[in-house]
Structure 1
Amino acid sequence: MRPAPTDTEAWNAYLAEGNARQARKRVSADVILRDPAGRVLTVNPTYKEGWDLPGGMAEANEPPDMAAVRELREELGLEITIHRLLVVDWVAPHGPWDDQIAFIFDAGILPTDLVVKVRPHDDELSDAAFLPAQEAADRLRIRQRNRLNAAVRAISDGRTRYLRDGVEAW
């Protein structure tokens, strides 16, 4: 039996029980960070094959934009500012993983004096490089490549993209 909302303790317990049955989504938060020449920062993770965009997984109850800021601070020693949302991609379950929501944010252009200092700051990355967008895309796995290409279009035309498993939904 559903309690009355006026019974605060019982109502909150009822809502908590419903919350516990709700689906949980994994959330990733990456950024497009460019140098003054327009090249895109890419990173080489040590824990998986292939290159990636900088960023990572959000922690429990962490906003995606703040997860991206935290990940760049931890992995590259960079303090960035998120300018806007570029891409949201719903990733279907695959392998051992449940579905995921992947965000890509625009972190703008890093000044030249900082570009030359970009290097991994922890053991999760072996390398970092600014590359022309097409060369960066060629290094990424297909899902990331599709997100990068959508993000580049979003930067160009100012329209946020929504993807379903790497394919623009509309």
Structure 2
Amino acid sequence: MRPTPADPAAWNAYLAEGNATQARKRVAADVLLRDEEGRILLVNPTCKPGWDLPGGMAEANESPDDAARRELKEELGLGIRPLRLLVIDWVAPHGPWDDQIALIFDGGTLDADQIAILRPHDQELSELRFTPAAEAMAALRDRLRHRLEAALEALSDGAPRYLHDGAAIA
């Protein structure tokens, strides 16, 4: 017989067993930051080839927006609040990786003072640059390029986008 909430100890043990066997998702939280000319901030990570948006992976029991803010602080020394959700992308299993949820948040426009002191703050980034949107698209891997395109659309009309592997869901 299945336990019920009337027996809190048995009920919590039952729920813990279910929690231990359910799938876990990796969560990536990136941030779209722009300068006053509308150029997009790209970063060059040391852990993988190619340019990327600032951000990174959420830690255990960390919300995606907290992960994005933590990564901005650790990697760039930026404290950005609030963040508005632009994109949710379910990424199918690929290579050695299980599936993932990848998000892009709007970090807004950085002012000249913020940009003047902007630099990589840890060993995870080798460089950064502000890039016009078309050049940013050309510099990014396919999945991230599709996410960025959706994020820019979401910026223009205010409606977040939901994607599967970078493709819009009808």
| TM superposition score normalised by structure 2 | 0.98
State the alpha-carbon separation in 1 of the partners of residues 67 and 32 from structure 2: 14
State the alpha-carbon separation in 1 of the partners of residues 101 and 33 from structure 2: 20
**Is this contact kept in 2: 1:69–1:82, CA < 8 A?**
no
Deviation string 1:142-166 (CA, Å, 9 cap, x unpaired) is 0000000110011011111000001
State the alpha-carbon separation in 1 of the partners of residues 120 and 58 from structure 2: 19
Q: Which runs of 5+ in 1 are unaligned?
A: none
Once the two structures are TM-superposed, the CA of residue 101 in structure 1 deviates from its matched residue by: 0.2
Once the two structures are TM-superposed, the CA of residue 3 in structure 1 deviates from its matched residue by: 1.2
Deviation string 1:99-142 (CA, Å, 9 cap, x unpaired) is 00001000101111111221100001000111111111111100
**Is this contact kept in 1: 2:54–2:72, CA < 8 A?**
yes
Residue identity in the other structure for 1:98: D
Once the two structures are TM-superposed, the CA of residue 25 in structure 1 deviates from its matched residue by: 0.2
What is the SS of the residue equivalent to 2:31? strand
What is the SS of the residue equivalent to 1:130? strand
Once the two structures are TM-superposed, the CA of residue 83 in structure 1 deviates from its matched residue by: 3.4
What is the SS of the residue equivalent to 2:117? coil
The answer for the alignment partner of 2:80 in structure 1 is 80
Residue 27 of structure 1 pairs with residue 27 of structure 2: yes
State the alpha-carbon separation in 2 of the partners of residues 102 and 56 from structure 1: 9
Residue identity in the other structure for 2:18: G
| Matched ranges for 1:3-152 at <5 A | 3-152=3-152
Paired residues in the alignment total 170
Residue identity in the other structure for 2:78: L
State the alpha-carbon separation in 2 of the partners of residues 52 and 82 from structure 1: 21
Percent identity, aligned pairs only? Answer: 68
Bigger mean CA deviation after superposition, 64-73 or 129-138: 129-138
State the alpha-carbon separation in 2 of the partners of residues 4 and 73 from structure 1: 44
State the alpha-carbon separation in 2 of the partners of residues 68 and 5 from structure 1: 36
State the alpha-carbon separation in 1 of the partners of residues 82 and 106 from structure 2: 6
What is the SS of the residue equivalent to 2:61? coil
Once the two structures are TM-superposed, the CA of residue 23 in structure 1 deviates from its matched residue by: 0.6
What is the SS of the residue equivalent to 1:28? strand
**Is this contact kept in 2: 1:80–1:107, CA < 8 A?**
yes
| TM superposition score normalised by structure 1 | 0.98
State the alpha-carbon separation in 2 of the partners of residues 77 and 29 from structure 1: 17
